[in-house]
Amino acid sequence: MQHSNLDLQIDKLRRCETIDVNQVEQLCMKAREILVEEGNVQHVDSPVTICGDIHGQFYDLMELFEIGGDVPHRSYLFLGDYVDRGFYSVESFLLLLALKVRYPDRIMLIRGNHESRQITQVYGFYDECVRKYGSAHVWHLCTDVFDYLSLAAVVDGEVLCVHGGLSPAISTLDEIRTIDRKTEVPHEGPMCDLLWS
């Protein structure tokens, strides 16, 4: 994916406009190629801005970049829950994904409990994708990317960041590193705890 094409997509997404299905396909494919190389636990150096749930609140995301500084001038760690509830989950998630592809070392995306096929069918992302694209194809593309998102990050080797919380089944970071994350979020167990506790 050429930087000039990606920059045009980022500009469009920053205007809260959707990109076409072919662009979504290419973006998701490139994102999976990058994310598959990242481990379950990502090392992050400070300074970094750590952000919680976005939940499709596109204009809050834009204000966050305005106040905190924009990528690539500032590094960000997002802790999941990019979609559902808000009206602009598609634009919010695809913008973060495009920024990840464009600046892979400046933005980290870890998985939240809403990065799940089951949850997004209940809380709005599925319906939004169908409404904006006329089918569930973009939803399938995005939920496939969810499976590749890391489960945790460690800032400066000292601060553990997860979406949910700790698990009684996990005593060490190495145990997080061995989880097979490339799957739908299970209903129980260590991965579920990291995303839901």
Residues known to be catalytic: 114
Question: Alpha-carbon distance 127 to 131, whole Å?
Answer: 6
What is the rounded distance in angstroms from the CA atom of residue 39 to the CA atom of residue 176? 10
For the residues of 125-190, what is the DSSP string, one character each? HHHHHHHHHSSSHHHHHHHHHHTTSBSEEEETTTEEE-SS---TT--SHHHHHTS--SSPPPSSSH
CA distances from 52 to 18, 27, 49, 61, 128 (A): 23, 23, 10, 11, 21
